[in-house]
Structure 1
């Protein structure tokens, strides 16, 4: 089991849909989150992409020296960059970070936004382009280890004698991730990627989706890894956690929700449509599955659900998804700095033993916790003796 966190390059706040409690996301803040989750033992961080975000490649590159082990899941954008340039950028990042880059293929789901980036393709065409894009990208990186070049002429993209002189550290290429729910998206995943990602739908819906991808991959002689993207709101008690969930959207008015849902409805992303259908833009039935709360999706595009509860409950829900074959969990929470610490302190000790060992810090000697009255270590025995 691998646990990732999230760098909020599109903004962060204590509350959604309002400037109240909002905080400035500058390099110092992003660095603070990155160094915190690196020290806590998270596997890596997802860095989002799109018009609403700071550029993920520049953000990730700026955090290499600030971190030691953290991996960076960065977007590949067919149509926005060429596959040869993306291969060169991927290899360079991989070399400079000593093998800490992962690539997230993002085809986009908002035609209006894509046109602003100069991409004039409909949904089906974007996936045709993405398929050829990945073939070129992967072959350039793979052949760089032997010094070969690569020529390819497809319906959408072509290269002649493309060559990369500096190969990546990871062989044959940095792992490729992707999430999509349409038929063409699951076809692409089955044929091209290493890890398939889903947003946090109810377990039964996730199970059905993974079975589709698994069968398609098997028909091509491939076996994929699987991951899930979720928010999390964890507190010491269930009551505190649900109260925190309600507080998160307490300043969101109906007009803001309506505007957000109208914009989301214009997107051609099937995954986004599935997210929106969970709540229907209404506040009255936001717990769409036990401890799975869709309140974030009222105003946020992309992943819109959160696991809500006490540590034991959240850990049990994580295990429920893990039992479906998911081995990577990408979490986030508001504000992202504080919630990363809450989650690590409260849930990490309840995860499977092998994951606990991986997350554990170097074996330092105690005592741990603040010393009591300048003399006693903070454990039950000494506290009782001092009373």
Structure 2
């Protein structure tokens, strides 16, 4: 399938480590980097000051702090940047979630976006297929209410009839839903119900194959998707300095401790995590899966396990390659998160035509 390059600005987002995912040295537990309101707000403030368009507020039931409460706490201080609120569908009653989203969107003047996560209910485990089915129904309920419409659903997981909510978003429409997942069930939910399909880093060929697959799946449902890329980044004035920092953040990692950290994550057995491990296993002796794509980070964390590493021109060129492949949104992060946000905003952001992702709704 031919490429469909994105024309115009792309959305450049950062990441606030609400799930105890920050450190100077990966694989270590430094209390100074654990998730607290003050620490995570410092990251948000750095991203706002640096000119990022959006920031992901991740969610993990057993790790860190709650993103809905955190978003409400920082909303009055965020004047330009959007917030990308992660919500775990298994933990939320959809009508309540819709009201929370509408309230936060009003607090932000219409600058809220939503990352939908298909999760279990805490204390319970559901098979993948029905869990994704429940997620799709939840997305339908939330979107319908946020679009100002009544709900009438007789689904497998939810049965309800509701009048439209009195409260709504600034636009009167649902914010865009960002969603990621590699399993066939996850891909179908994304094709049917998401606006922006998020993927983790991989080799160019694998990324292109996934983009092609998702375009075809969405077209089968009469829809079009936008694409987002979630990746770490290490940028310095020279490639040598960037690689030196990569070695620095890994310099205190104990292999066994790294395995424990990966196993703690709620997504440790997912298809996406399995693919990250395969990419890491196929990397060269220095951990590079391809030019400027370093997989070492995956030794110390589950989920997104690779970083773009290089000088400003190399990093900008890598992002441009993805834009040409069809990506219009990037969610970046680095260790430590506040410090790396400052490096990226100073060295790379001025090289990129960027702005909030507009018209994401299909």
C-alpha distance in 1, partners of 2:287/2:214?
28
After superposition, the C-alpha distances for 1:136-172 in whole angstroms (9 at most, x for unaligned) are: 1111121x2xxx5322110111112243111111342
Query: Does the 8 Å contact 2:282/2:289 carry over to 1?
Result: no
Q: Which residue, 91, 98, 121 being the options, matches 2:126?
A: 121
Query: Does the 8 Å contact 2:113/2:176 carry over to 1?
Result: yes
C-alpha distance in 2, partners of 1:35/1:251?
28
Further displaced range: 119-128 or 330-339: 119-128
Query: Does the 8 Å contact 1:283/1:295 carry over to 2?
Result: no
C-alpha distance in 2, partners of 1:99/1:210?
29
Confirm or deny that 1:3 pairs with 2:4: no
C-alpha distance in 2, partners of 1:252/1:281?
20
* Aligned pairs for 1:174-213 within 5 A: 174-213=175-214
* Aligned pairs for 1:59-138 within 5 A: 59-108=70-119, 114=120, 117-138=122-143
Query: Does the 8 Å contact 1:181/1:271 carry over to 2?
Result: yes
C-alpha distance in 1, partners of 2:16/2:75?
14
After superposition, the C-alpha distances for 1:258-300 in whole angstroms (9 at most, x for unaligned) are: 4345567984421111112222499945111111111111111
Q: Counterpart of 2:347 in 1: which secondary structure? A: helix
Q: Counterpart of 1:89 in 2: which secondary structure? A: helix
- What is the TM-score normalised by the length of structure 2? 0.90
Q: Which residue, 35, 42, 47 being the options, matches 1:32?
A: 42
1:221 — aligned with what? 222
2:24 — aligned with what? 14
C-alpha distance in 2, partners of 1:330/1:341?
15
C-alpha distance in 1, partners of 2:226/2:202?
18
Q: Counterpart of 2:304 in 1: which secondary structure? A: coil
Shift of 1:72: 1.0
* Aligned pairs for 1:303-322 within 5 A: 303-322=304-323
Shift of 1:75: 1.8
CA RMSD of aligned residues (A): 2.2
Query: Does the 8 Å contact 2:33/2:39 carry over to 1?
Result: no
Are residues 266 and 32 of structure 1, via their aligned partners in 2, closer, same or farther at CA, if it must alter by over 3 Å? closer
Q: How many residues are paired up?
A: 345
C-alpha distance in 1, partners of 2:282/2:32?
23
C-alpha distance in 2, partners of 1:337/1:266?
25
Shift of 1:27: 2.3
Are residues 30 and 76 of structure 1, via their aligned partners in 2, closer, same or farther at CA, if it must alter by over 3 Å? closer
Query: Does the 8 Å contact 1:123/1:268 carry over to 2?
Result: no
* Aligned pairs for 1:265-280 within 5 A: 267-280=268-281
